[in-house]
């Protein structure tokens, strides 16, 4: 992808603070960290997000995430980490080259949590059924 910022970073055409690389994946620091050390793990292959990824690539990507979660967390004395992927614009994805965020988190960082809804009577069962139905087809 010629216009993709992460493809350019992967090829070394744009600078980045790279912390890890192997034949399939690269990890570098985001320029807009939620907390210091916030790392992005990206496949070298241009895929848009999880909707677009084959199982073999998911496996490789998450093995790298697992490899990095201790170093990223320990290097910043964090108490935990969020590991997340935004999939499509509606979810907050801005860069359309798949990337897994590893975000060091602190008990004290007071970042707002997701809002929570509730289910009406029977609605949870109905929602589960919708997903199971699509899994079965
Ligand atoms: P998204 O919202 O797409 O899941 O996250 C995009 C991430 O890429 C953000 O953390 C953002 O700060 C980071 N980012 C955007 N442009 C660049 C860049 O040129 N270099 C680096 N290192 N990170 C970038
Ligand atoms: Zn790309």
Whether 12 is covered by a domain: the verdict is yes
Q: How many domains does the chain have?
A: 1
Structural domain of residue 75, as residue ranges?
5-112
pLDDT at 114: 84
The protein residue whose alpha carbon is closest to atom 8 in ligand 1 is: 30
Q: Are 65 and 19 in contact (CB under 8 A)?
A: no
Lining ligand 1 with CB less than 6 A are: 5, 16, 28-32, 40, 86, 92-95
Positions marked active-site: 99
pLDDT of 112 higher than 90: no
CATH at 63: 3.30.428.10
Give the number of the ligand closest to the Cα of residue 87. Answer: 1
Distance in angstroms (rounded) separating the CA atoms of residues 67 and 81: 13
Atom of ligand 1 nearest to the CA of 94: 3
pTM here?
A: 0.96
Look at residue 78 and tell me if it is in a domain.
yes
Going from the Cα of 4 to the center of ligand 2, the distance in angstroms, rounded, reads 4
Q: What is the pLDDT of residues 19-29, one digit of tens each?
A: 999 999 999 99
Is 74 a domain residue? Answer: yes
Which residue, judged by its Cα, is nearest atom 22 of ligand 1? 30
Average pLDDT, integer, range 127-136: 97
pLDDT averaged over every residue in the chain: 96
Give CA separation, 81 vs 8, 34, 52, 61, 76, in Å. 27, 11, 25, 17, 11
56: Cβ–Cβ under 8 A, 6 or more apart, which residues?
A: none
User: Is residue 132 a part of any domain in this protein?
Assistant: no
Question: What is the mean pLDDT of the segment spanning 58-65?
Answer: 98
């Amino acid at each position: 992808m010629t216009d993709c910022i992460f493809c350019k970073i992967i090829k070394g055409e744009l600078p980045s603070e790279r912390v890890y690389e192997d034949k399939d994946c690269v990890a570098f620091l985001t320029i807009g960290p939620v907390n210091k050390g916030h790392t992005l793990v990206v496949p070298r292959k241009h895929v848009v997000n999880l909707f677009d990824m084959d199982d073999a690539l998911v496996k490789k990507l998450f093995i790298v995430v697992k490899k990095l979660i201790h170093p990223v967390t320990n290097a910043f004395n964090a108490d935990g980490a969020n590991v997340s992927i935004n999939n499509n614009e509606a979810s907050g994805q801005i860069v359309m080259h798949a990337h897994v965020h590893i975000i060091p988190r602190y008990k004290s960082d007071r970042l707002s949590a997701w809002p929570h809804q509730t289910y009406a009577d029977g609605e949870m069962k109905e929602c589960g059924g919708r997903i199971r139905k699509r899994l079965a087809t």
